[in-house]
Structure 1
Amino acid sequence: MIKRTSKLILLFFLLAANSISAQDNVIDQVIWVVGDEAILKSDIEQVRIEMLARGERLNGDPYCFIPEQLAVQKLFLDQAKIDSITVTNADISRQVSYYENMYISNMGSKEKVEEYLKAPMAKLREEWREDIRNNYMVEQVQDNITKDKVKLTPSEVRRYYSQLPQDSLPYMPTTVEVQIITHEPVVPLDEVNRIKARLREYSEKIQSGKEDFSTLAIIHSDDTGSALNGGELPFYGRAELDPSFANMAFSLNDPTKVSNIVETEFGYHIIQLVERRGDRIKVRHILLRPKIADKERKEATNRMDSLVRDIRAEKFTFEEATVLSADEDTRANNGLMVNKSESRSYSGTSRFRMEDLPPEVSKVVDKMKVNEISEPFLMKLSNEKEVVAIVKLRSRTEGHVANISDDYQALKAIVEQRKRQEVLSKWVKDKINSTYIYIDKNWMNCDFKYEGWVK
């Protein structure tokens, strides 16, 4: 918590900024200050527009509940700084594609999303990366707060179930268990050499002063999110980056130099140092991904076709064939996929709601019968790699009213979530009382979820 004098200075400059914006005819305003973080009117409007684009219903006054939600998030993010919480790049990448697919699904096309949100998809993906990073940090803080305070016994779960009126029992959605085998199309050596030759060419042009790194990144980098910013990434700690990328990036000391070519799960990179701050680093990079030709894609599909035929001919089982899978996460578990979605009822289990599955898998599984094996299909992984996959539907549980014998884990998750929310609510109330809060007088007339905002 900053000292009162610092708060007053901060508030003075924020109010002055409002005045300057008004003089410049820029419609924006600082409406809340939480600690030393400001919430702008434009922030509220952006969140409102994005919620509508995602197809969410705005229950209540958005100009009341949205600023309060952002204020609560800032309380948790402040704690994340105190706790030195970091988030890996892989965690973020998994969700960016999910965001993009969700927006396009709701609005009909990429062009409509860009038109409605008034930004190109590359810029939106970069903004989503920051949102996702913040969400992950908030979740980690919440987990730290609740981890030793939300423990349930089987008797507590049964008591909760027995006390619910029959018409109040939760409805459990249809869930499935899916096994998967993937195969990566072979990238020809010629294609790898072509990629490396291009990166060496870029490096030579940058080192000789003929070209600027940022310009080449904008034009050529396959990382569309960072390309918009000249290849520049936010500040990262070593643990947040791919290990190979991190080793190369943290070995750089001269901002005028360009790294050697480094290979990661995303492709091939060259890197340039921008700035160091303690154990965090900011770099810019150019990423090139090898292109998969139709020939290699067809060969991979044909190989998976043969595998499906052999399994159906009972030469070996699907489970035995998973040793051939390129999917390291599932290979040692007979190909069984694990739910890594944000749904607390099923996250960490093998059960998926259809919307929790990767879209390509969900589309295939939706039409399958239990124990059926799919035809090969193409799918993109979170690192943008293209693979050929086959899946087996291990089980399907149709939607139904919850019962204690079939849905114990889901009911337990519901009770845990209730206890978790009680703990977090108390934490937020305590944090509000110990944090400097300013709310513009025109934004105070709200029925807030938490007391204590207006001081």
Structure 2
Amino acid sequence: MNKRILVLLVQLISLVSLVKAQQPADSTVAANPTGTVVDEVIWVVGDEAILMSDVEAMRIQGQQEGLHWSGNPDCSIPEQIAVQKLYLNQAIIDSIQVTDAEIAQAVEQYLDNMINAIGSREKLEEYHKKNISQIRADLRESYRERQLVQGMQQKLVQNITVSPAEVRRYFKDLPQDSLPFVPTEVEVQILTQQPKVEQEEINRVKDELRNYTDRINKGEASFQTLARLYSEDPGTARRGGELDYTGRGMLDPAFANVAFGLTDPKRVSKIVESEFGFHIIQLIDKRGDKIKVRHILRKPVVSDDAVTKALARLDSIRTDIVDGKFTFDAGASIISDDKDTRNNHGLMANVTQEGRTSRFKMADLPAEVAKAVDTLSVGAISKPFMMINERGKTVCAIAKLKNRIDGHKATITEDFQVMKNLVLNKRRNQVLHDWVVKRIKSTYVRINDRYRDCQFEYEGWVR
């Protein structure tokens, strides 16, 4: 049964029960003709009902994601759902936007993690008793709401700042046994070589794209259908290759030049090469300085022979560095194909919501890099290895462990950024907590009597 229909059904039964039996709506259940309980309204927040099935669904999802609920889950889970309702309602009022691309990316990342954890796609489908398309559809609305909540929270705390003086004062007043433990962090330099793709393989990919264009122009197939079948961009393929409205600066320069030059939605672009592979593009709409297009991406396959040659070249470069013919810094600046690190002597950057740093926790490094430097001493250089970079391309690399900072209690001199983030997060959490409490006071809330003895995180639910 559609969830919205079920909510309306339960609310209708609740109203009938109030009139006929004068019973509290909180205890009302939806029942089928045999009298078996289908679901139950346990909370109402504003004009939104929270069902027992909502609680059980979040409980299962939390178990799958390894979440641990504070306090009694029977109390904390419905409370968290109620808090989400408050944020979602405000997000609608404030017109918080979430793009289809953001939702698709989050869903695909979650599915990839679940498939890796459970072993295979078939096992995931067996566990859920649904095929992957049905699982994906179920996740989309959940992730849309999750990202709206996050967007609303970010808006509420976007102007919160802390000064260096506040950080030092907080650190000074913090008991020694309350200082945060900073796990081991590393700084890593990387030097990469991208295996050369053979011209024959490039020609094969271009011929495929020309064939797609020909089929579209002849009316044999739509662009959307071919994108779903053949595009190697997982974030857009399932949407027929569609990219939501995007500014020029968010696109690969070569892709943007062609996309923004399109004027006829019926035409397919020439083949364009980007850092991700080769594309054909079709215009959907232009709106101000943003464009909406669909595309098909095909990636040339790197041969085993090309990988072997790149690894051999890196092994030779490593030998020259160890023999003192030139430094790793010089090699990374001149020889490396990695444009993200080349201008910084190969030093990798860890970009987070809190800012940009050269320090990584081992778990935050790409898995292949972490494995390569895990047992290295400071200053040592790894053997050549192969990896898939964030653009989905095969690259070969050597890595140097520039520095290792062993796990320790935070100090104000060595870990100022850690302490600043601690104070900033503390202040943000307090702002969000106060906002929720204030919203509870101004929102209609009704909860089932059995929840009235719960120890809630936020005051004001019980009235």
Residue in structure 2 matched with residue 381 of structure 1 by the alignment? 389
Deviation digits for residues 361-419 of structure 1 (CA, Å, limit 9, x no counterpart) = 11222221111111111111222111111111111111122233332321222112111
Q: Which moved more, 1:260-269 or 1:197-206?
A: 260-269
**Contact 1:368–1:374 under 8 Å retained in 2:** yes
Shift in alpha-carbon separation, 1:441–1:137, aligned structure 2, 3 A: closer
- 1:155-304 equivalent positions in 2, closer than 5 A: 156-229=166-239, 231-233=240-242, 235-238=244-247, 241-243=250-252, 244-246=254-256, 248-249=258-259, 256-273=266-283, 283-304=293-314
1:331 maps to 342
2:110 is the alignment partner of 1:68: no
Distance of 1:40 and 1:452 partners within structure 2: 20
Between the aligned partners of 2:429 and 2:409, the Cα distance in structure 1 is: 24
Structure 2 unmatched ranges of 5 or more: 14-29
Q: How far off its partner does 1:228 sit?
A: 3.6
Match of 1:415 in 2: 423
1:246: how far off? 4.8
- What is the SS of the residue equivalent to 1:336? coil
Kept in 2: contact 1:86–1:239 (CA 8 A): no
Question: 1:175 touches 1:398 (CA, 8 Å); kept in 2?
Answer: yes
Counterpart CA distance in 2 for 1:328 and 1:200 is: 30
Contact 1:77 1:134 in 2 (8 A): no
SS in 1 for 2:172: helix
Report SS of the residue matched to 1:340. strand
Percent of residue pairs identical: 42
The letter of the residue matching 2:198 is P
* 1:427 to partner: Cα distance: 4.0
Residue 176 of structure 1, CA deviation: 0.8
Partner of residue 15 from structure 1, selected from 2, 8, 32 = 8
Aligned to 1:398: 406
Conserved in 1, the CA contact under 8 Å of 2:162 and 2:423? no
Asked whether the equivalents of residues 98 and 147 of structure 2 are also in contact (C-alpha less than 8 Å), the reply is: no
The corresponding residue for 2:363 is: 355
- Aligned equivalents of 1:227, 1:135: Cα separation in 2: 23
Q: State the alpha-carbon separation in 2 of the partners of residues 294 and 73 from structure 1.
A: 51
Summarize the Cα distance change of 1:290–1:15 in structure 2 as closer, same or farther, 3 Å threshold: same
Letter in 2 for 1:408: F
Shift of 1:195: 0.9
Query: Contact 2:209/2:279 (CA < 8 Å) preserved in 1?
Result: yes
* CA–CA distance in structure 2, aligned partners of residues 129 and 228 of structure 1: 13
Contact 1:123 1:225 in 2 (8 A): no
In the other structure, the counterpart of 2:23 is none
Whether contact under 8 Å (1:379, 1:387) holds in the other structure is yes
Deviation at 1:201, TM superposition (A): 0.5
Larger radius of gyration: 2
CA gap 1:134/1:71 in 2 versus in 1, 3 angstroms: closer
Q: How does 1:45-124 map to 2 (within 5 A)?
A: 47-59=58-70, 60-61=72-73, 63-68=77-82, 70-71=84-85, 74=88, 77-78=91-92, 81=95, 99=110, 102-104=113-115, 106-109=117-120, 111-116=122-127
Aligned equivalent of 2:27? none
Amino acid aligned to 1:236: Y
Q: 1:315 aligns with which of 305, 320, 325?
A: 325
CA contact (8 A) 2:50 2:82 kept: no
Of 365-374 and 215-224, more deviation after overlay is shown by 215-224
- 1:161 and 1:109, CA in 2 relative to 1: closer, same or farther beyond 3 A? farther
State how far apart, in whole Å, the 1-side matches of 2:31 and 2:290 are: 37
Cα separation, 1, equivalents of 2:348 and 2:89: 35
Is contact 1:177-1:351 (8 Å) kept?
yes
Query: How many correspondences in the alignment?
Result: 436
Instruction: Specify the SS of the correspondent of 1:285.
Output: strand
Task: Assess if the C-alpha contact under 8 Å between 1:271 and 1:283 holds in 2.
Answer: yes
In the alignment, residue 346 of structure 2 is paired with which amino acid? G
Give the whole-Å Cα distance in 1 for the aligned partners of 2:94 and 2:293.
23
Q: 1:23 to 1:126 in 2, by over 3 A?
A: closer
1:105 Cα deviation from its structure 2 partner: 5.4
What amino acid does structure 2 have at the position aligned with 1:329? Answer: D
Equivalents in 2 of 1:131, 1:54: separation in Å? 14
Q: Provide the rounded CA distance (Å) in 2 between the counterparts of 1:35 and 1:259.
A: 50
Give the 3 Å change call, closer, same or farther, for CA 269–447 of structure 1 in structure 2: farther
Distance 1:322 1:96 in 2: 36
Q: Give the TM-score, by structure 2 length.
A: 0.75
Give distance in 1, aligned partners of 2:352 and 2:112.
Answer: 15
Q: Is the 8 A contact 1:242 1:264 kept in 2?
A: no
Change (3 A) 1:72 1:193: farther
Task: Tell me how far 1:316 sits from its aligned partner.
Answer: 0.7
TM-score, with structure 1 as normaliser: 0.76
Name the CA distance, whole Å, in 2 between partners of 1:282 and 1:23: 47
Equivalent residues of 1:103, 1:113 under 8 A apart? yes
Contact in 1 for aligned 2:84/2:149 (Cα 8 Å): no
Secondary structure, counterpart of 1:286 in structure 2: strand
The offset of 1:277, in angstroms, is 7.5
Gaps of 5+ in 1: 1-10
Partner amino acid, structure 2, of 1:81? S
Counterpart AA for 2:190: I
- 1:250 shift after superposition: 5.4
In 1: Cα distance, 2:218 partner to 2:31 partner = 46
Q: Assess, with a 3 A threshold, how the Cα gap between structure 1 residues 64 and 443 changes in structure 2: closer, same or farther.
A: farther
What amino acid is the match of 1:56?
L
Contact 1:373-1:393 at 8 Å conserved across structures: yes
Q: Deviations over 1:216-243 (max 9, x none)?
A: 33332222343344x2436333358524
Shift of 1:15: 1.7
SS state at 2:242 partner: coil
Q: Decide whether aligned partners of structure 1 residues 251 and 31 sit closer, same or farther in structure 2, where only a CA change above 3 A counts.
A: farther
